[in-house]
Amino acid sequence: MKVEGGLLRIDLELENNVIKNIMISGDFFFFPEEKLEELEKELKGKNINESLNVIKEFYTKNNIEASITPDDIYSAIKKAVSE
């Protein structure tokens, strides 16, 4: 999915609207880089509907600097669900 901050790809495994597995990748800036994997871990086990709040809190708590926003990630998750 093309977003203003770059290319964003979400590989997602869901069960009853709960994220079982997620991989966020693409061509975008995300700093610190190693926090992206932590974000994926943070999202596992969460209901899809609460994922936007989880992402926003994660960005704030970890002082994330990125070319993609929490809304971009959430939109990509929703798009992955619909495909």
Domain ranges of the chain: 2-82
CATH 1.20.140.10 for the 2-82 domain, yes or no: no
Q: Are 52 and 75 in contact (CB under 8 A)?
A: no
pLDDT at 83 over 90: no
Separation CA 17–CA 1 (nearest Å): 21
Separation CA 14–CA 20 (nearest Å): 5
* Bridge partner residues of 7 (DSSP): 2, 27
Q: Are 47 and 31 in contact (CB under 8 A)?
A: no
Residues 12-62 pLDDT 10s? 999 999 999 999 999 999 999 999 999 999 999 999 999 999 999 999 999
Token output for 13: 């495994």
pTM: 0.94
